[in-house]
Amino acid sequence: MFELMPFGRRSLSSYFDDFERSFFNDWTSNAIAPIKTDIIEHDDEYVIEAELPGFEKKDINIDIDGDYLTIKAETKSEKEEKQCKGNYICRERRYGSFSRTFDISNINHEKISAEHNNGVLKITLPKLEEVKPKTKNIEIK
């Protein structure tokens, strides 16, 4: 919406934001992007599909603490460009840490499974079976 406003109505901070994005080539916005997830409900389970492009299986942790499941992913990368003499012209390091937490209070924790394929983490969360009260006939004495 603000990009459509006339020149005189834009705030000064928006010009600094635009400058920062163009200077860093949107590098900073990628560093704080959340893990994008889809949650699918089936009759007997939930499936979480989390997009983690560029992450390898070793970079991803799934932890359960009580009734909360947390997905954590960390990445480290370096980019080097050198002159012929070996002096650095440009050397960039990037570190990103991402996490998402989900309430799994109605999930069978023992049967949770996960797989990672082509940048997508798929977690299968089986629902707890409903405990139906047993019917019982009480004899009158």
Residue 120 has pLDDT above 70, yes or no: yes
- Half-sphere exposure (CA, 13 Å, Cβ side) for 134? 3
* 87 lies in some domain: yes
* 69 lies in some domain: yes
Q: What is the pLDDT of residue 14?
A: 57
Per-residue pLDDT reduced to its tens digit, 44-60:
999 999 999 888 899 99
* 110 lies in some domain: yes
- The fraction of the chain above a pLDDT of 70, given in percent, is 64
Please compute the mean of the pLDDT values over residues 94-112 and round it to a whole number.
88
* 26 lies in some domain: no
* 23 lies in some domain: no
Please compute the mean of the pLDDT values over residues 73-79 and round it to a whole number.
74
Q: What is the pLDDT of residue 81?
A: 56
| Tokens 């959340």, located at residue | 34
Q: What is the pLDDT of residue 83?
A: 54
Domain tally for the chain?
A: 1
The more confident residue out of 83 and 8 is: 83
CATH code of 52's domain: 2.60.40.790
Per-residue pLDDT reduced to its tens digit, 8-17:
444 555 555 5
Closest CA to 72 of 82, 64, 83, 80: 64
Provide the residue range defining the domain that includes 88. Answer: 35-126
* 70 lies in some domain: yes
Q: What is the pTM of this model?
A: 0.61
* 2 lies in some domain: no
The more confident residue out of 95 and 86 is: 95
* 73 lies in some domain: yes
Distance CA 65, CA 68 (A): 5
